[in-house]
Amino acid sequence: MEKCPSCGSNRVYRSKTRTPFERFRRRFTMKRPYRCHVCQWRGWAPGGLRAALPGNAREPAATAPDLEAADGALDGPARKTDG
């Protein structure tokens, strides 16, 4: 959170949770409470903030492998049938 929604100050910092409801909300929504050190506003970030994902979770998903080539290799050469 960059600015206080009440006074516009940039002195906004994360605040500790106080009640069981706040701990529940923090744990299950990944939102965090904040406090402004200028006007003493305390509340949840508008729109909420999400926790950062692990580094490899931010990488783009790999493309699916071409399984047809593997299927062809497993089939082997075509068999001749006596007829």
How far is it, in rounded angstroms, from Cα 34 to Cα 9? Answer: 13
25-34 tens-digit pLDDT: 888 887 889 9
pLDDT tens figures, 34-49: 999 999 999 987 654 4
Tokens of 33: 């409470």
Higher-pLDDT residue of 64 and 36 is 36
Question: How far apart, in whole angstroms, are the C-alpha atoms of residue 45 and residue 33?
Answer: 7
Is residue 65 classed as helix, strand or coil in its secondary structure? coil
pLDDT band, very low/low/confident/very high, at 53 (cuts 50, 70, 90): very low
| Sign for the pseudo-dihedral over CA of 65, 66, 67, 73 | negative
Average pLDDT over residues 10-29: 89
What is the C-alpha to C-alpha distance for residues 46 and 59, in angstroms, rounded to an integer? Answer: 27
